[in-house]
Amino acid sequence: MSLAPVARPANLGPATPPSDEELVLKVIPMPADCNANGDIFGGWVMAQVDLAGSVIPARYAGGRMATVAVNEFLFKQPVRVGDLLSFYSKLVRIGRTSLTVKVEVFAERIPAQGQFVKVTEATLTYVCIDEQGKPREVPHRPAMTAG
């Protein structure tokens, strides 16, 4: 059986997930995550981005860490119930006690699986903390490449 091509509204440009970033989370928002417009609540998206952003820093933290800053957060397109969301991330900076990551979120709309729309991008910083909640040095330092 062949499927008919899916028409895409003109204002939703296609996007290609980045090849230099790692897929760290996939999730589908549910009706309970909606705002009064019927789109997905921005705070829900921010929570998912915070979780997704922590995945790579956790490899280097070797223990507890905390989100110290959301340096940038852009909602480029609304997120809808049933979208299949893919969160891509990469490490962009490593400091003495902190790690900063970029997170990009792509939606596959129902029923347009395989067609990606970039809905959100963000930059977040995580700090390695000790048992007293004070900053500690990043114990495992990744090799950073230019680019």
Ligand X SMILES: CC(C)(COP(=O)(O)OP(=O)(O)OC[C@H]1O[C@@H](n2cnc3c(N)ncnc32)[C@H](O)[C@@H]1OP(=O)(O)O)[C@@H](O)C(=O)NCCC(=O)NCCS
Q: Would you state the structure tokens that stand for residue 11, as one six-digit string?
A: 């204002």
Q: Closest approach of Cβ 135 to ligand X, in Å?
A: 4
Contacts of 44 (CB under 8 A, 6+ apart): 29, 33
Counting runs of H as helices and runs of E as strands, what totals does the chain give?
Answer: 1, 5
Containing 26, the helix (H) or strand (E) segment is: strand 22-27
Of residues 120 and 125, the one with the C-beta less far from ligand X: 125
CB closer to ligand X out of 53 and 116: 53
Backbone angles phi, psi at 135, to 5 degrees: -60, 145
C-alpha torsion sign, points 122, 125, 131, 133: negative
Q: Which is nearer to ligand X, 26 or 59 (CB)?
A: 59
Using the minimum distance from each CB to ligand X, give the nearer residue, 30 or 92. 92
CB of 93 to ligand X, least distance (A): 8
Q: How far is the CB of 51 from ligand X (least distance, A)?
A: 12
Q: Which residues bind ligand X (CB under 6 A)?
A: 66-69, 71, 95-98, 125, 127, 129, 133, 135
